[in-house]
Amino acid sequence: MSNYIPPAIDWVREQVELYESSGGTQGTTLRDTGLPCIIVTHKGNKTGGIRKIPLMRVKVCDSYVLVGSYGGRPKDPVWVYNLRANPDVEIRDKTEVYKMRVREVEDEDERKRLWAAAAEAFPPYNDYQAKTSRKIPVFVAEPV
C-alpha cells in the first residue's frame, strides 16, 4: 500500500486525525456547524499516495454525494482530479467504513436531483456555486 499523505491545511488534517483515531466517534461534524461529515480515502492522481479528505455527509439511498465546491474558489479542489483518475474509494461514515466507486455526474437531471440533496444537507453549496463561474463537480459514490 502506498504512503499516507496528510492534508496540508491544519484544521482539515486535525479533523481527519481525530475522526480516524477515534474510530469515527469524534470529529464527525464540520467545525462549528454541527453538520455531519464523512472521510473519503482515495489515491493521489500524481503521487499515488493515500489521501483523506473530510466532506459533507450527503447520503442518498446507499450512495454518497461528493461536491467539489472548494468554498466557491475559481479552481476545483485537488481531490476532484484524484477521483477522476482513481474512482475506487473508502468512505468512513462515523464508525462504518464502506468500499465504494465514484463516478462524476454528467446527466443534468441526475445532477439537479443530487445537487438539491447536497444543498439541503449543506445550504452554503448554493452560495459557493453563485460565487464561481466554474460548474462545481458533483460525484456519486456507490457501493462496489
104-111 long-range Cβ contacts below 8 angstroms, 24+ apart: 104/137, 104/138, 104/139, 105/138, 105/139, 105/140, 110/140, 111/138
pLDDT attached to residue 57: 98
Phi, psi of 62 (to 5 degrees): -95, 10
CATH, domain range 10-143: 2.30.110.10
Phi, psi of 6 (to 5 degrees): -65, 155
Task: Split the chain (144 residues) into runs of 10 and give each run's mean pLDDT.
Answer: 87 96 96 92 96 97 97 96 98 98 98 98 96 97 96
**What is the per-residue pLDDT across 41-74, written as a single tens digit (0 to 9) for each?**
999 999 999 999 999 999 999 999 999 999 999 9
State pTM to two decimals: 0.95
Can you tell me which residue has the cell 481525530?
A: 18
Locate the domains of the chain by residue range: 10-143
Can you tell me which residue has the cell 486525525?
A: 17
pLDDT attached to residue 32: 81
Q: How far is CA 125 from the centre of its chain?
A: 13
